[in-house]
Amino acid sequence: MRHIINVIVLIVVVTVGLLFLVNKIDWMPVAASTAAGPIDWLFGLNLDVITVLYVLVNGIMLYSVFAFRRKRGDDSEGAYFHSNTKLEISWIVIPTVVVLAFAVVGGSVLKQVSAADKDELKVIVTGRQWSWTFEYPDLGITTTELNLPINKQAHFLLHSEDVIHSFWVPQFRLKQDLVPGQEEELRITPTLRGSYQLMCAELCGTSHAYMVAPVNVLSAADFEIWRQKRLGIYKEPAGGGAGEDPAALGAKVASSAGCAACHSIDGSKLVGPSWKGLYGRTETMADGSTVTADDAYLHESIVNPGAKLVQGYADLMPKNYGDALTEQEIKGIIEYIKTLK
């Protein structure tokens, strides 16, 4: 009886202390979608229950190791037990009930976060080694950065061109694999304006870590301005500021559009030729001919990368940059390459 009281006191004290600590820690990044509420709640519930079970199992075990260890000079045999029906029933019933309860609660949260709104923005997401493209079929826009209006559900249709990738913006909480040959879907309603990062959460090859894309949650008005700019129908308000420096724009696009995953800027050889010292260089093509890397060649290599392939490199570059980048962005990249001497 003394041992039972000791172990109960030990477990209660440690559980209360650990629950306090576990709930003090801020485990999650900022919450930026409607899914964050129910998912963070479920995560917290999981953590609490796991904490209690962890202390229960380890508390009894560690207490027993100390309390029932062999005392000095005591060589007697321990008492002999054969099974304990009550204990066995309880360790079958309790975990079963806990797991079933979590299945029910988890199912209801899943239903909640995947519910479709009537008014949704369709976005076709394509992943490939190692970049992302976003197509807005209702807007006629294709881009390499994901812009979303706040408080409007985005309905993502996800495709992979090669291997399994995984669509993940931690601030939105939801994650969905892209499986080749299959269309996956995911619904997200952003609730917090800001800039986030989409990352690939499935190890997909050497440049997996570079398979990222910027995500911007914009106000409805800013999203409309972006839409008009992309379509080239935006009218600058009178007295509008000067345009961005092309090379600076190019540097930004190079990291957001996935260029940096395959083209180094320090001369090291990746999947594609390095951009360092590229402008003006004479390159030998796969067929032995030579080409000077001037504006026209760089432009062609961005929009039609297979046309003139540098010797020693495979035809791996995505073929859709002509659609996904604006003319201004392509010019920006070329200006950026010129600065990499």
Q: Which residues contact ligand CUA (rule: CB under 6 A)?
A: 127, 130, 165, 200, 202-204, 208, 211
Output 191 or 207, the one with its CB closest to ligand CUA: 207
Output 131 or 153, the one with its CB closest to ligand CUA: 131
The rounded radius of gyration (Å) of the Cα atoms in the chain is 29
Helix 246-256, helix 327-339: angle, nearest 10: 100
228 close to 234: Cβ distance less than 8 angstroms: yes
Q: How far is the CB of 181 from ligand CUA (least distance, A)?
A: 16
Q: Amino acid identity, residue 158? A: L
Q: How far is the CB of 262 from ligand CUA (least distance, A)?
A: 13
Of the CA atoms within 13 Å of residue 198, those in its CB half-sphere come to 29
Q: How far is the CB of 177 from ligand CUA (least distance, A)?
A: 10
Output 181 or 243, the one with its CB closest to ligand CUA: 181
Which structure tokens are listed for 322?
């002509």
- 3-state SS assignment for residue 194: strand
Place of tokens 């988890």: 106
Q: How far is the CB of 250 from ligand CUA (least distance, A)?
A: 24
Q: How far is the CB of 169 from ligand CUA (least distance, A)?
A: 14
Whole-Å CA distances, 188 to 1, 134, 137: 55, 15, 17
Residue 36 CA to residue 17 CA, distance in Å, equals: 27
Q: How far is the CB of 165 from ligand CUA (least distance, A)?
A: 3
Output 151 or 207, the one with its CB closest to ligand CUA: 207
208 close to 130: Cβ distance less than 8 angstroms: yes
In this structure, the dihedral spanned by the alpha carbons of residues 30, 36, 42 and 46, taken in order and rounded to 10 degrees, is -30
Output 127 or 250, the one with its CB closest to ligand CUA: 127
Output 132 or 279, the one with its CB closest to ligand CUA: 132
Residue 98 CA to residue 132 CA, distance in Å, equals: 40
